[in-house]
Structure 1
Amino acid sequence: MVITPRDAPWLKDNLYAVRTPEGIEADAAEARKQGADIVVVSMHWGIEYKPVSAEQKKYADALLRSGQVDWIIGNHPHIVQPCQKIDGRYVSYALGNLFSGQQAAYLPGTADGAYASVTFTRDADGKISQSMTYQPTYQDQKTRVVQLATPSQNPASYAKTTATMGAFGCDAKPAS
């Protein structure tokens, strides 16, 4: 059952569970019909502080295999979740927190985040391929400043984020 937030009735027709994979696919096909070469879908999905859900996997698989969606960028869980490549297309299930008032001491993982970038390349035959890089980030809990996470700066966050991003065999690389 999908519940529309009482204070946001305009969301009723835009909630992903209402739209369904078929509805999102139809929207993406319409964007292509209107001339879009690349279609990126932003999903507010998943369960806060939990691993990738079966529902997220179901939507990602359906949308990326449809050929209408090129990249799914997800958020809502407030932790970094893996990326995955399905049928040559990426899903970033959740990129964690970039700015939040959450205390990592109470909610482990919520100080971690990532910026992601996908490069789309068209070959001579018109086929589009993709490659992804991402930059792990860490939000300092005292200053609330978002910092880069690298092997030498915030190394524990970097290690956790890179391990998580690659957990589903994603070929995305951390930015150098």
Structure 2
Amino acid sequence: MDASTFEIRLLIPDEWAVFRRVRLRALADAPQFFGSTLADAQARTERDWRRALSDRAQFLAGSAGVELGTVAGMPDLNRGGVHLISMWVAPEARGTGVSDLLVRAVIEWAARGGHRVVRLEVVEGNTFAEQLYRRNGFALTGVSGPFAPGDPRREHVLELRF
């Protein structure tokens, strides 16, 4: 795959079925890295998917009509700035640079919105994701917490200020 052929675009609520398809694939592929489950996502209604796309900037990476990854940015109403969430890249696109393009899409969206900080959480053991975010300027904050009830892993907060 050639990184020059990747397209990153913002999904709109009318593209809820695309978002659903990519999210279900992400949850099936890497359930250990997400706070929600495949079963929960499968139970969501069209209205739920549309609402999610209204509440966030959901970016989709693709090439030649093939969906290769997704990430979202949401205003962080509690701390200010933007919260980067739901990052996923298809196995066939890993190592191609598409993940960097997705992260930069959220950073650029945040900057255009006047935000000066982007935060995210990385679950313990997801070293590839942590390396991705560090490569794009994020740094550990020293804040961590439980990943999920009953799960002994922790997630660490990373932040990018600009």
Q: Into which bin does the TM-score normalised by the smaller protein fall? A: 0.3 to 0.5
Higher relative contact order (CA 8 A, sep 6+): 2
TM-score scaled to structure 1, two decimals?
A: 0.34
Q: Which has the higher helix share?
A: 2
Q: Normalising by structure 2, what TM-score?
A: 0.36
Q: Which has the higher strand share?
A: 2
Higher Rg of the two aligned structures = 1
